[in-house]
Amino acid sequence: MGRMSHADAIVEDEVSRLRAELASREREVVALRRVALAMNASLELDGLLETIVQVALELTGGRRAHVVWRDDQELDRLLQAPVRGGSWRMPEDAVRKVEAVRHTLATGEPAHDEERLLVCLPLVAPGQVLGALCVEGQMPGQDAVADLHVLAAHAAIALEQAVLFAALRRRSVELEATLRRYHEAEHASLTDPLTNLANKRHFRDQGKREAAVAKRYGRPLSLIIADIDHFKRVNDTYGHLRGDDVLKSVSATLSRTVRGADLLARWGGEEFVVLCPATGPDEALKLAERIRAAIEAMHGPVPGITISLGVATHAPDEELDATLDRADRALLRAKEAGRNQVQS
């Protein structure tokens, strides 16, 4: 009986030991599972680095843990909010001075420093050493080291993906900024800076396209050229700054009066031009008259502003410049006939 009781006690002790070991391993597996889930759930570098450090401490009971990257400046460029003193970062002087860290980064092999109670495991992606995972404060046991190896393998893959994602996001932001600057430059090249209307270049490009469409589908196309009456007198009387205000006021009134499909442009000086797709001569004359009346009724920076207009409808086999020339001659007739009127 005594022998049986002794054997039972040995078995019970072994069971207790196994239970404790199992509980310890279960905590470690839970920690590894948590970091794996965190790594798969997010590609954000900031949170990933913190998670790796926290789990490394949970697995080892260490005092501090660090992710040492092959190029700290690269991480600083890619992090959402770079912090030189981040809790995951090993001080630069330690990276330079501690042989174990240098060895792991140089060779991709684990290293330890018993004097500093430091263990370093490589973060390795296929073909290259990305960095090192370092824990200090106490030398971990075999099981903890094995868990750290698993953690480092997961961390290397996740960090490589997160760095790539951050680099792509940064590149995307840079490309968006470049594209925005390009569009701004393109807009500036096609826009009159004072009135924010289309400029002559934009009008000519669009006019050629509309003329081709009109010819292909047999649609009418008309042009209106308008010129502010006695604009030199405005500049001489009120000054050029007030003259600019008149140009902007007239431009705003014209923009409100033309139709959505029309292209309004500043032709130069105090002259404006309107491209009117799918518009025949009668409808173009009516639009020109609405423009004339709107300017005459305008309450602008200078009283009594009026405008003269010439209208021409594009012929199918005619060059656009020829249509513009006919509209310009009609404008001249409106000026000679007393201004503030429409001629075709």
With respect to residue 268, please indicate whether it lies within any of the assigned structural domains.
yes
The reported pLDDT for the residue numbered 280 is 96
Residue 180 lies in a domain: no
CA–CA separation, 208 and 260 (whole Å): 19
Please state, in angstroms and rounded to a whole number, the distance separating the CA atoms of residues 148 and 154.
10
**Angle subtended at Cα 28 by Cα 27 and Cα 33, rounded to the nearest 5 degrees:** 100
The answer to whether residues 17 and 161 belong to one domain is yes
Q: What is the CA radius of gyration of the chain?
A: 39
Tell me, yes or no, whether 114 and 223 share the same domain: no
Q: What SS3 state is found at 196?
A: coil
What value, to the nearest 5°, has the Cα angle with vertex 115 and ends 109 and 135? 50
The pLDDT assigned to 149 comes to: 86
Question: Does 47 map to a domain?
Answer: yes
For the chain, where are the E strands, in sequence order? 64-69, 111-113, 118-125, 128-136, 221-228, 263-268, 271-277, 307-313, 342-343
CATH number at residue 140: 3.30.450.40
Give the structural domain span for 279.
200-343
Q: Within this chain, do residues 142 and 237 fall inside the same structural domain, yes or no?
A: no
The answer on 290 and 236 residing in a single domain is: yes
DSSP 3-state assignment of 128? strand
**For the chain, how many structural domains are there in total?**
2
Both 129 and 215 in a single domain? no
**Residue at 125 is within a domain:** yes
**What DSSP line would sit under 52-73, residue for residue?**
HHHHHHHHH--SEEEEEES-HH
Say yes or no: 106 and 150 in one domain: yes
Residue 99 and residue 209 in one domain: no
Domain closes at, from 172, 192, 208: 172
Indicate whether 84 and 144 sit together in one domain.
yes
The answer on 204 and 161 residing in a single domain is no
**Residue numbers annotated as active site:** 270
Is pTM, for the whole model, over 0.85?
no
pLDDT in tens, the chain (344 residues): 555 565 556 556 665 665 655 555 555 565 556 556 555 555 677 788 888 888 888 888 888 888 888 877 777 777 765 555 567 778 777 787 888 988 888 888 999 888 888 899 999 987 788 889 999 887 777 778 888 888 888 888 888 888 888 788 778 888 888 888 988 888 888 899 999 999 999 999 999 999 999 999 999 999 999 999 999 999 999 999 999 999 999 999 999 999 999 999 999 999 999 999 999 999 999 999 999 999 999 998 999 999 999 999 999 889 999 999 999 999 999 999 999 999 99
State the CATH number of the domain containing residue 211: 3.30.70.270
Q: Is residue 235 part of a domain?
A: yes
* 178 lies in some domain: no
